[in-house]
Structure 1
């Protein structure tokens, strides 16, 4: 199948000049013109209609979050947590992370490859000069006498060659490289978003772990007090050894949880150090205070039809689809004739004084046409492979869109259920606190034991631990929503220039 397109194959603005020249001198472009896939027609992200807002709970991190359909996301979405420390961490990471530097350099490399390929659209001009001094016996030329002939020859030539892009193969190659550069552009945008989300989540996890460690240490302290009291009562014969062993097992269980939490805490700090472009031994920033954070209450929820424009990964796979489409044109063009025009003008003489005389002029004009006739089926197989690659890219694009919608749906459902989980955890904590208050009152009135007080106190601390985890989860899933919706990169000033051309120093 031969598809010939007589429209420009490279719509991007930075290629207009070179494309116009190629169209003027070349002709039509074989292969399909890329058409961006239509946006999904979904009306919502989740299976069931979302409520307008989540439930609310008193205390830090318990505010109701409202789902604001169609609201835009700010570029610096992390600022919505109202934490200067988070803002500083993200800013430093975006400035210093070496993985981002590598992504920026990869983008620049891809852009330069496009510019290099554009040169094929223009005539190639070269210059060569030759100076030759040679001695040879006259017998070599059939002249007797045993003499040696010495002569000098100078030549200077300007060579011009141009391969007509009759079927747009060169333009399709440039289009393909340009699409790959665009893929790297969106990979960089996605890397920015992922890094920012990872930094915020790591800081939130660190804060949660620090609070969990403090609460766990309180639980261990209370459990050891209860063990000591149980041992005293055993010595007096008031309880059995089974009671002592049961309390000892409880202490051991709580103590066993502490090293894992401490390990996770230090590993999180090590990870943050790497995100910031440094090493663990040089990281000394204080832990974030979870209670000092503000939970964003008005959550932007983009329209489903907008998600394909906002998600960097979807835009990246659209660029790969574009590259695969152009690759079909390249494969087809390789099967068709190629015409090359060439010319040369120069001068040559046996000495410099004769170089500029009419007798020293040398010129040539030539044309050549090449047409593959038999290559053992290679070219046709390459065309079919290019069509298969296009099918692969289309399937991958479709899968990426589906996963993106799943990410948003997961985040929205998580935010709704997180609020309910925190509400339940806070209710459990209130019950545990009330039970502790009753135990303390009974003990002061002489109607209860101190062991009952310690047991109630231990339950209260455990409930507080659950509240800490539930609160941290609300923050983390809010970050997940911002990331799933694309992160607001489109609200950066002069986004294309900043992320594409000014992402690194231009050379």
Structure 2
């Protein structure tokens, strides 16, 4: 117990000007790739896309696809997606936990009142002055104040750690919004592509049925035999077998879209865009590498985790150093409630306490080393997150470069296959070719149509992947009154 006011004042001054243990702002040397060069991705079968380096991704990047139906689905997802609701709740929890830690670092004030009715033994005297009766009542009320002086920054480190946890939760919410919107856009594109393939398969089935009818008429005239009709019937059945898996996959994508928008599959009719309604964005903004690291929410979350690990190391270091606590209480005690603060009944106490760890069997030392390892882990994870961001951008750009070429080739193949099928059917009607040639032309046409649809969808999907990779932050569609303040 420290009784000297002068000593208490010295300790208070030392604490208020105390230092913080551990690294304050950890940094990681991060190798940056060269900036992406401006380029044009020409395509004869679709819009020309331009890579525009040094520009951030727009916050509402999905609107660049020019589909009001997609925009409406995104709005529903941002308002009702369950993953976003969970991430928002996690952020609110982190904010409140930060408030708890901040409150614990300040003075603690408590009030108390106690009434005691007691009888003492006749062999003992009453504890109350001027009272000889062994039965008595004692009223006591007091106000207590406790203030832990943050001499070596342990409390400040805990506050920094809580603030970093809040920043992690906020960045993860941003990442969840980006992921939900990207997954929704990809599901819409996939569903539109599958629906286009369903339509193409239905067209192929009708075409093969027409050919089968034609062959049966020729068989009735004696121009061809049963083998030709059987071959075409087999081709029709093969084409019909393609349709159910496509319909099943399209239904799965519709169920996925419903889930992403926070509704049960089949509970409501989804207004989905067709593949033709999704327009390819022509401008592709790509941030500079340093800006990309700052923009990607997953990288920001890793940076905040690193900050929190550094704060936890400071807490572990401070735990091995002395701590000082100032406390005091004041009140009154009397046999009657109204006389608790009468002359002679009030009391008070001022206490200063110093605690220093002496021997903990190495636990505090190992705790510090564990915190140092956790900081090294957070640094490695930050480097990994940043490098992954660069990989994602590079992959998306490489995909877009090849997509334009693939779409051109698939378009030429589809047009040529359709032309060949038309010529072959005409020749079959005139008796110039056999069934085998027609079967080959029909199969080639169906395959070329499917490949063309997939190539168009891949170009749209890789554009979504690029917007997701550059990491634009999607604004909160309904900001709450407790908006996050970045620590």
* TM-score (norm: length of structure 2): 0.88
2:368 is paired with a residue of what secondary structure? helix
| Shift in Å, 1:412 | 0.3
Does 2:184 align with 1:199? Answer: yes
2:333 is paired with a residue of what secondary structure? strand
Does 2:44 align with 1:57? Answer: yes
Q: Is the 8 A contact 2:15 2:152 kept in 1?
A: no
Residue 6 of structure 2 corresponds to none
| Shift in Å, 1:376 | 1.2
Residue 483 of structure 2 corresponds to 502
Q: Residue 329 of structure 1: which of 292, 298, 314 is its match?
A: 314
Cα shift readout 1:461-505 (whole Å, capped 9, x = no counterpart): 33222111111111111000000000354xx5xx899489438xx
Aligned pairs for 1:6-21 within 5 A: none
Alignment partners' CA distance in 1, 2:95 and 2:377: 25
Alignment partners' CA distance in 2, 1:398 and 1:184: 19
Cα shift readout 1:392-411 (whole Å, capped 9, x = no counterpart): 11111111111111111010
Q: Does 183-192 or 23-32 show the bigger shift?
A: 23-32
Does 2:130 align with 1:139? Answer: no
Aligned pairs for 1:288-299 within 5 A: 288-299=273-284
Unaligned runs of 5+ in 1: 1-20
Q: Residue 123 of structure 1: which of 97, 107, 113 is its match?
A: 107
Cα pair distance change 1:334/1:488, threshold 3 Å? closer
Alignment partners' CA distance in 1, 2:296 and 2:342: 68
2:380 is paired with a residue of what secondary structure? helix
| Shift in Å, 1:133 | 2.2
Residue 31 of structure 1 corresponds to 22
Q: Is the 8 A contact 2:118 2:136 kept in 1?
A: yes
Q: Residue 411 of structure 1: which of 389, 396, 402 is its match?
A: 396
| Shift in Å, 1:135 | 2.9
Residue 43 of structure 1 corresponds to 34
Alignment partners' CA distance in 2, 1:316 and 1:425: 41
Q: Is the 8 A contact 1:127 1:157 kept in 2?
A: yes
Q: Is the 8 A contact 1:26 1:168 kept in 2?
A: no
Residue 111 of structure 1 corresponds to 95
Q: Is the 8 A contact 1:345 1:363 kept in 2?
A: yes
Q: Residue 365 of structure 2: which of 362, 380, 390 is its match?
A: 380
Does 2:208 align with 1:223? Answer: yes
Cα pair distance change 1:496/1:372, threshold 3 Å? farther
Residue 69 of structure 1 corresponds to 53
Q: Residue 84 of structure 1: which of 46, 68, 77 is its match?
A: 68
Aligned pairs for 1:272-311 within 5 A: 272-311=257-296
Alignment partners' CA distance in 1, 2:250 and 2:14: 61
Aligned pairs for 1:93-492 within 5 A: 93-141=77-125, 149-226=134-211, 238=224, 241=227, 247-440=232-425, 442=427, 447-448=432-433, 456-489=441-474, 492=475
Alignment partners' CA distance in 2, 1:36 and 1:169: 21
| Shift in Å, 1:157 | 1.0
* TM-score (norm: length of structure 1): 0.85
Cα pair distance change 1:339/1:217, threshold 3 Å? same
| Shift in Å, 1:247 | 4.5
| Shift in Å, 1:459 | 2.9
Cα pair distance change 1:115/1:251, threshold 3 Å? same
Alignment partners' CA distance in 2, 1:484 and 1:377: 46
Cα shift readout 1:179-226 (whole Å, capped 9, x = no counterpart): 011000000000011111111111111111111011112223333444
Q: Is the 8 A contact 1:311 1:486 kept in 2?
A: yes
Unaligned runs of 5+ in 2: 1-11, 127-131
Alignment partners' CA distance in 1, 2:481 and 2:54: 27
Q: How many residues of Structure 1 are paired with residues of Structure 2 in the alignment?
A: 467
Cα shift readout 1:12-39 (whole Å, capped 9, x = no counterpart): xxxxxxxxx9997261111111234456
Q: Is the 8 A contact 1:66 1:297 kept in 2?
A: yes
Alignment partners' CA distance in 2, 1:22 and 1:218: 86
Alignment partners' CA distance in 1, 2:14 and 2:437: 89
Q: Is the 8 A contact 2:297 2:473 kept in 1?
A: no
| Shift in Å, 1:162 | 1.3
Q: Is the 8 A contact 1:22 1:165 kept in 2?
A: no
Alignment partners' CA distance in 2, 1:149 and 1:34: 66
Residue 4 of structure 2 corresponds to none
Alignment partners' CA distance in 2, 1:52 and 1:427: 24
Residue 14 of structure 1 corresponds to none
Tell me the C-alpha RMSD between the 2 structures.
2.9
Cα shift readout 1:239-291 (whole Å, capped 9, x = no counterpart): 574x6665455444333322211111111111111111110121312331111
Residue 3 of structure 2 corresponds to none
